[in-house]
Amino acid sequence: MTDQLRLMAVHAHPDDESSKGAATMAKYVSEGVDVLVVTCTGGERGSILNPKLQGDSYIEEHIHEVRKKEMDEARDILGVEQEWLGFVDSGLPEGEPLPPLPEGCFALEDEDEAAGRLVRLVRSFRPQVITTYDENGGYPHPDHIMTHKISMIAFDDAANTEKYPEAEFGPAWQPQKLYYNQGFNLPRTVALHEALLARGMESPYEDWLKRWDDFEREPRTLTTHVPCSEFFETRDKALIAHATQIDPEGGWFRVPMDLQKEVWPTEEYELAKSHVDTSLPESDLFAGIRDNA
């Protein structure tokens, strides 16, 4: 263990890093922590979600290059490092029955082989903490679920030189803690929704809350609330940098910033694995690590 703290955030697509835990990352960067975002795919099959850019033939034909440039801008705004794993976006299958996933996509890769690419980065970057998605992917996109799978393998096996030989994958390294991003949680959504109504304002969460039970998920345990409200503006700037994916006038930005900071000034995580002692709830992803670093 060195005296430098390092955080690795593993995400499925460009833009995921800016919508999940971005303020946390910007906070840690400001404190001198090394932060690396790992982006598993290029977002090649992502739709153009910003209505102002829909129908732009150049963007449609060059979506991979456009999203890479968006990622470059968001990375610079957040102040993080970033690496691509190089897998191909699986797309989000829709219909009944669901169509098969496209050949060669990320979600159809061999899990251990795909995890090997992440193991190389874990061993070279040597993070004490990794963040990723839970077993549902945060939502059931096949790339998010695959991101969860390879993150779990890499966390456990980056120290296993029998499975991933040192000669090929670099010296062994064991991360100390692994977290699931849980920023889109029910308590936060209810708190913001009720605060908006109390101010006599329209809430963008009303329909979402009505459909919450349809998600058929067990409640998640929010173990870690990281105070990071002073970086909410940085988070939003990074998100807007992903112009093909985000409408600056859309629902993401309908909650006044002062209300967000007052009502819910944290980002949430679920501690999934730990090799260090820590007391729950936490306010720091490096709890139990700082004293030993």
Binding residue numbers for Zn(2+) = 13, 16, 144
Tokens of 287: 């709890």
Compute CA distances 291 → 5, 35, 51, 174, 178, whole Å: 11, 19, 49, 17, 18
Positions of E strands within the chain: 6-11, 34-41, 81-87, 129-132, 177-181, 224-227, 266-274
Query: Which residues is 71 bridged to in the sheet?
Result: none
Using a 10 angstrom Cβ sphere, with 0-12 exposed, 13-18 middle and 19 or more buried, the burial of residue 136 is middle
Q: Which residues are annotated as a binding site?
A: 13, 16, 144
Nearest-angstrom CA–CA distance, 159 and 156: 7
Query: Which residues is 274 bridged to in the sheet?
Result: 177
Parallel, antiparallel, or unpaired for β 266-274 and 177-181? antiparallel
Q: In a 3-state reduction of DSSP, which class is residue 261? A: helix
Nearest-angstrom CA–CA distance, 98 and 59: 27
Q: In a 3-state reduction of DSSP, which class is residue 136? A: coil
